Amino acid sequence: MKSPKPPYQSAPAPQSEVRPNPVRVPLQSGPRHFINRELSWLEFNQRVLEEAMRPDNPLLERLKFYCIVSSNLDEFFEIRVAGLKQQVETGSTECGPDGLTPRQALVAIRRRVLRMVRDHNACWSEQLKPGLARHGIRFLGPKEWNEEDRAWLEHYYRSVVRPVLTPLAIDPAHPFPLLVNRALNLIVRLGVTRRDRRLPRLAVLEVPRVLPRLIRLPRSEARWDYAFLGEVIGHFLTDLFPERVVQGWWPFRVTRNSELYIDEEEVANLLAAVEQELQRRRRGAAVRLEVARHCPAEVRNELLQQLGLSAEDLYLVDGPLNPARLMSLYEEAPLPGLRYPSWVAPIARPFQNQTDLFAVIRQTDVLLHHPYESFESVVTLLQQAAADPDVLAIKQTLYRTGGDPRIVGALMEAVRNGKTVAAVVELRARFDEANNIRWARQLEEAGVHVVYGLVGYKIHCKATLIVRREGDTIRRYVHLGTGNYNPATARQYTDLGMLTCRPEIGEDVTDLFNLLTGMTQFRPLRQLWVAPFDLKSHLLRRIEREAQHAAAGLPARIIGKMNALVDQEVIEALYRASAAGVQIDLIVRGICCLRPGQRGVSESIHVRSIVDRFLEHSRIMYFENGGQPEVFLSSADWMPRNFHRRIEVAFPVLDGNLRDRVIHELLALPLADNVRARVLQADGTWRHARPAPGEPARRSQFEFMERAQVKEAVSLSPRNTSGKIPLRPRPVQD
């Protein structure tokens, strides 16, 4: 199989690139052909919730999914719902591709979220809580405490909790406090007599975030009984209001607009501006109120009024108001039988028993598939580069660095060893801003040249360039990836990384870093596609080329793996390709606004999503190209923000063996998954894939783990010895 030709050449473009007569298939796309972005995301979160409700998942893994659903929904309200509410407030009536105005979208979102909250509550009360109790993990309320529990908790309350509590009255002299985003609070109603009718009737008490939300009661090692901190505070509340009657207390939580608003062209110091905006985030406009279901209506209405919210912003909760705090139980409970067996990724085969990683990369390109192959090879390469006297320079982009100090530590060590080091740090990586600011300061103090990228764009590409002197020549070693330089998430997310020293790739990555540091204007590169400049146009051209090939009777097929598909122009191009006869398979983890299976529009498009043990995060593009397949990996999803507002990179897999591996393994296995895959229907619903009669069950993530443990290289699944990608996902069986 020939290696695909580069997308940019000084010579005339090859025949497959020439488009003298573009295929024009008549297509009248309209709102009925698009799924609303926000509703599609909510369906993804429902798929995560379904994993929490699956009895065949280990119990603590189900608890983890239950927590993730809550965290996902928090961010959804902080960003997406907050943005829609702002559009409504400004009077916007502009419709999206699906035909919904912002107000109509909010109505549909509330209707869908109410169902999700109901399912989420039931998952806790009917499945997880009773299931954990059967394994000795109980959550006891005040009515279930015995005398010893009550005495021990009272001592804990008085010695540890009470000193950090601050009750806040609500009356004309004490306006409603500005509550921190997502903090757990108690609203307290106090009795008032004629004699003290001027005293406040309500008070707010923030549950201290500095204390553990779960309090483990003293028990034998075999029993794990907990009390919730909020319930402990509520039980002993009378201690804070002497000579007052506490008529009731109820937990609640406020979600606020958390988007950062920074005019980069107007600020002199981006780092300082981001820091200042982070402080405002915690006090943004309220967008959601969550309250315990048993809270009286008059108290709920008072909270809504004080927060400037309406009844449409109220959600009643049965169970923990901040389930994310239960993740500590998932991580700490010594019950390994309730989790998946621990997974330790092996070193990728080319690097096994090798001490000089540079020598390996000189011989061959290396493809890393995380978390099935260890991310430690990337860390080791950086550490070797930092210590190697022949390495002259290191350049790297950092989007989400995480808490592992080895990546930035290697960059700082390289400076101490006299090398030129540049780090392009994205300060606006959502909800990682504070962490990135801290690392940026440390890097600057160590002497690293820290750059914050281009004005108006987030730097989302993942690239490392190592410049090394080898005899009389200079060689450039490159790592390009679909995921972040974060060893922690590399154990939880499925991602791809490529290591190469091909001169044409090294030259492109050099130009990319010169662009990011502001030294050059963009000019088309030899192998890489770069957003916002030409990535989308390259993608559209290849989709159109497949349509031409189909019209000419040549092999034509597109496979795309991504996290989200939103861009209207790309979706319409896929519709035209489908109408021309191109077979299209999309593996979309989250949002998908494309509606498959529509007669005359998208009949040959099939969409599936996999939610399983690891978070699907890799991005892959496959184009049949008339029998000369092209494969690209990318940091970008097919969304307007990735195409137009971020610096993203797509890069080709040029090595024929690695390209075969991507085609026949990394794409074929997810397309054959019939255990954890869901298939998108034309009406926007998702249905579980099921094995056809006589067909074996295929669970792609577990098969990847099995393959990673095989000592000898395996290019084809023993269950798919033909080496062909399944032409179609198996039919959904009810």
Q: Which two tokens stand for residue 647?
A: 């610096």
Bond preceding residue 12 cis, omega within 30 of 0: no
CA–CA dist 291, 133 (Å, integer): 25
Q: Which two tokens stand for residue 586?
A: 């999309």
| CA contacts within 13 A on the Cβ side of 510 | 15
CA–CA dist 137, 129 (Å, integer): 8
Backbone angles phi, psi at 460, to 5 degrees: -110, -10
CA–CA dist 301, 629 (Å, integer): 61
Q: Which two tokens stand for residue 58?
A: 């280990």
Q: Are 532 and 457 in contact (CB under 8 A)?
A: yes
CA–CA dist 409, 246 (Å, integer): 54
CA–CA dist 430, 400 (Å, integer): 9
Q: Which of 531, 701, 555 is nearest to 622 (CA)?
A: 555
Q: Are 226 and 138 in contact (CB under 8 A)?
A: yes
Q: Are 575 and 661 in contact (CB under 8 A)?
A: no
Cα 130 to chain centroid distance, Å, stands at: 30
460 in active site: yes
Q: Which of 2, 4, 1 is nearest to 651 (CA)?
A: 4
Q: DSSP readout, 543-579? A: HHHHHHHHHTTS--EEEEEES-B--HHHHHHHHHHHH
Q: Which of 453, 500, 503, 460 is nearest to 480 (CA)?
A: 500
Do the strands 646-652 and 529-531 form a parallel or antiparallel pair, or are they unpaired? antiparallel
CA–CA dist 61, 310 (Å, integer): 36
Strand order in the sheet with 168-170: 168-170, 202-206, 184-190, 246-256, 286-292, 314-317
Q: DSSP readout, 98-145? A: TS--HHHHHHHHHHHHHHHHHHHHHIIIIIIHHHHHHTTEEE--GGG-
Which of 33, 120, 370, 460 is flagged as catalytic? 460
- Which amino acid is it at 714? V
Catalytic residue ranges: 460
